[in-house]
Structure 1
């Protein structure tokens, strides 16, 4: 196969997969067990995805770097369209899967559209709660790890405490947090902060301790004070480990967010998922899970961009 033909097939494949999904949607009759929606929401979603895909491909013609990166993702998008086609056929056109637990893609995408404002309100609440907890956990974790890694006297007293408290699952602290804090919101912020605090502390301390002692000796010879040695030598050298702790903290914070929003909250994506499950509306459960997955992926991608911008000096040295 020639290189040119291979490139053409790469661009055609996602659209062919989308067309196949549409053909299966209209050609195969419904099983009759799924609740019928007012509009073909899944087809509307598929059409919007195809239009967005075409816009990105056209944009790649003018923005060469973006086009080169986007081209490598086209086979993945083709596979995603094929997966959705097979999934929709199984849940809507056959009787193989129980309807209660496996709603059609029309129902899931329809719920996302019909309840978009309500879902947005819950998403904003979850984002506010997540941001507060993450900031508190990041700040305390960074300075705790800095003290543990740089000062052996502090480490003598704090290391046992960190090793004792850190491995305990965050959800195990829910009853105690609800008893100690005057409001549920305060308890939830603390629990999310705790989920972020331990990985950030652990990786920051590990990064500080792994810095070559020669760097400190050279800086001290040149007249550097403690503040300079900590924030201009130790911290920059340990940034890879610090960011690794941030990634772990983000994942832990999302898991904790889902758990704490099911305890005494009346809004939030975690509360929404729990509410939909309690009323046996699993299309809402899947819609909430999709929102959480997209949000977590977006934040992680943004954090990767920030890390690459800050640590541009390591480009080509370390493969991410």
Structure 2
């Protein structure tokens, strides 16, 4: 029997287990209106506590913290902050602790550990170079990842649909695909005259292998009855590939695309640090060489936002094409 007030259910082993009917997430114990005051605490610590050294932009940073606090109070009043309130509280108190430990007390060795003022100063004074590095990294990543995706999907479809293609291509995939692309970097720099082209080739190779394997797996798993039904209606091979095999294998293909994107991020940083003299990886290497650690941390933050943004876009595309699967995995 069950009713509106039931709080227990019968488990497979016959033991009662609690359901989530009346359970409330523990995070809701933190009220949304507490997010704004947390940032006001960070602003007050930054503004009123004397700095241990002559740090730039202390007043600007305090004003920024206060402005975020006001915005969070407004969001809480409009009931737009309930889900993100715990994180906003943690970030505000975290910045306050960072400011206290480093800018006010200097408990960590400099220049390896900077202050919030140092990080803000990098974005205020070196934003042009950071923006240029971001554009170079995006250009390098988009070309290499796109080439690897197209090559991987085409190879995977060929492996799944053509026995002759599989006979000739599979040994090459098995021999070259599992190799870490980094191990081929010296060879690529010798065989390919341009560092940019060599980096693009290695990025395409690194992203293409998981896409190839997952596409092949998805195409091979398509029910043969789908092809038989299409053939009885006069479908040719082109139709079978683009209207039967690829749509049916799309969930597996997207898994490969996500894995390939992660590999592209790895190869992007390596290529920019060792070969291509531009981009966020090159900027980080330059900052480390000059002991400009706040610049390095700023580049890491920009790279993190770039990577998570690209993954978010890929998830949006996946949810649009695979609407029946969009609730299975969130980002």
Conserved? CA contact 1:265–1:271, under 8 Å: yes
- Structure 2 matches for 1:194-273, cutoff 5 A? 194-273=205-284
Map of 1:286 onto structure 2: 297
Deviation at 1:101, TM superposition (A): 1.2
Higher RCO (CA < 8 A, seq sep 6+): 1
Change (3 A) 1:276 1:302: same
Per-residue CA deviation, residues 228-271 of structure 1 (Å, 9 max, x unaligned), is 11111111111111111111122211111111111243321111
Where is the helix percentage greater, Structure 1 or Structure 2? 1
C-alpha separation in 1, matches of 2:209 and 2:130: 31
| 1:131 to 2:131 alignment | no
Classify the secondary structure of the residue corresponding to 2:31: helix
C-alpha separation in 1, matches of 2:180 and 2:125: 37
Map of 1:24 onto structure 2: 45
Aligned length: 305
| 1:276 to 2:287 alignment | yes
Per-residue CA deviation, residues 142-198 of structure 1 (Å, 9 max, x unaligned), is 101111122233223322321222222221111111111111111111122122111
C-alpha separation in 1, matches of 2:190 and 2:175: 21
Worse-matched range after superposition: 42-51 or 121-130: 42-51
Per-residue CA deviation, residues 106-142 of structure 1 (Å, 9 max, x unaligned), is 1012101211112111111111111111121111111
C-alpha separation in 2, matches of 1:89 and 1:259: 35
Pairwise CA RMSD of aligned residues?
A: 2.5
C-alpha separation in 2, matches of 1:141 and 1:50: 47
TM-score (norm. length: structure 2): 0.83
| 1:89 to 2:105 alignment | no
Deviation at 1:30, TM superposition (A): 3.0
Deviation at 1:218, TM superposition (A): 2.3
Conserved? CA contact 1:91–1:99, under 8 Å: no
Conserved? CA contact 1:100–1:282, under 8 Å: yes
Change (3 A) 1:96 1:182: same
2:315 to 304, 307, 311: 304
Conserved? CA contact 1:14–1:78, under 8 Å: yes
C-alpha separation in 2, matches of 1:48 and 1:267: 35
Deviation at 1:313, TM superposition (A): 3.8
Conserved? CA contact 1:262–1:271, under 8 Å: yes
Show structure 1 runs of 5+ residues with no match: 62-66
Classify the secondary structure of the residue corresponding to 2:89: helix
Map of 1:174 onto structure 2: 185
1:10 to 13, 21, 31: 31
TM-score (norm. length: structure 1): 0.86
Conserved? CA contact 1:42–1:110, under 8 Å: no
Show structure 2 runs of 5+ residues with no match: 1-23
Change (3 A) 1:313 1:9: closer
- Structure 2 matches for 1:49-198, cutoff 5 A? 49-50=68-69, 53=72, 67=80, 71-198=82-209
Conserved? CA contact 1:41–1:110, under 8 Å: no
C-alpha separation in 2, matches of 1:84 and 1:39: 13
Classify the secondary structure of the residue corresponding to 1:71: coil
C-alpha separation in 2, matches of 1:90 and 1:55: 30
C-alpha separation in 2, matches of 1:109 and 1:242: 41
Change (3 A) 1:187 1:309: same
Map of 2:56 onto structure 1: 37
